[in-house]
Amino acid sequence: MAQAVFFDIGGTLIYADPPVPDVFARVARRRGHGITVRDVEPCMQQVDEYYESEYMRDGDFWCDHDRAVQIWLDMYGMMAGYCELSDPGLPQAVYDEYLRPENWSLFPDAQACLKGLKRRGFKLGVISNWDATLEDLLRNMGYLPYFDEVVSSASVGCRKPGSAIFEIALERMSVKPGDAVHVGDLPEADGDGATGAGIRPIIIDRRGRYRDCPYERIPVLTDLVSML
């Protein structure tokens, strides 16, 4: 029987709210630029493709705080360039905005899941590819008390799907791999990574995108409370 449940963060427990184009436009207007969300939205595919290409080329930027932050700054810089905004400080201002808890929301199924697992006595932890601000973000959102440990890739110098980040989390929680479950939204990073560390993976697939995934899938997080 599982003793501990680890969670990914982005796309699993929380999501950017409002979306990036809205926040970018809001920050730009605050800095005196007359743009709207409609001015920003057309470039988002290009920005997403940039991130994907950088991740595939060298995803180890997630292992270092400064490099992880720089990826976000580069993306916001691309958005500024697309909107023809000459403002060197804008990318940093947008990044800083996402350090604020009001720009993130917990998925509707997440809090009931965390409460249910906590009531049943499970140890709860976080294993996420994120920069070193993750613990502060969860604290400021009011959700840090749910977790016994928070392990972000930039804080420990290794990332999913490598097994080292999972092993660090297991050691910190004093849990054996066979007594742990990891829940995430990406079959490669979360499924392959957990399996490589001997942990049972469960993929949260709210939109039914991973029907061919070889791992257990659930459509809502609250299913965990009854299945573990």
CATH number of the structural domain spanning residue 123: 3.40.50.1000
- 68 and 88 in a single domain? The answer is yes
- 116 and 98 in a single domain? The answer is no
Domain count for the chain: 2
Of 102, 122, 146, the last residue of a domain is 102
Give me the chain's average pLDDT, please.
97
Which pairing describes strands 149-152 and 180-184: parallel, antiparallel, or unpaired? unpaired
pLDDT exceeds cutoff 90 at 72:
yes
**C-alpha span between 64 and 130 (Å, rounded):** 9
**C-alpha span between 108 and 95 (Å, rounded):** 25
**C-alpha span between 55 and 9 (Å, rounded):** 18
Q: pTM value?
A: 0.95
Average confidence (pLDDT) over 54-73: 95
The predicted structure's pLDDT at residue 228 = 92
- 143 and 118 in a single domain? The answer is yes
CA angle 122, 128, 132 (to 5 degrees): 115
Q: State how far the alpha carbon of 70 is from the alpha carbons of 91, 104, 138, 163, in Å.
A: 10, 20, 21, 25
Q: Are the C-beta atoms of 175 and 198 separated by less than 8 Å? A: no
- 165 and 75 in a single domain? The answer is no
Give long-range contacts, CB 8 A cutoff, 24+ apart: 99-102: 99/133, 99/136, 99/137, 100/140, 101/137, 101/140, 101/141, 101/142
pLDDT exceeds cutoff 90 at 1:
no
- 141 and 84 in a single domain? The answer is no
Q: How many CA atoms lie within 13 A of 93 on its CB side?
A: 16
**C-alpha span between 9 and 147 (Å, rounded):** 12
The predicted structure's pLDDT at residue 139 = 98
- 149 and 159 in a single domain? The answer is yes
- 178 and 200 in a single domain? The answer is yes
- 93 and 158 in a single domain? The answer is no
- 38 and 68 in a single domain? The answer is yes
Average confidence (pLDDT) over 15-38: 97
Q: Which of 182, 216, 214 is nearest to 199 (CA)?
A: 182
Domain span holding position 108: 4-15+103-227
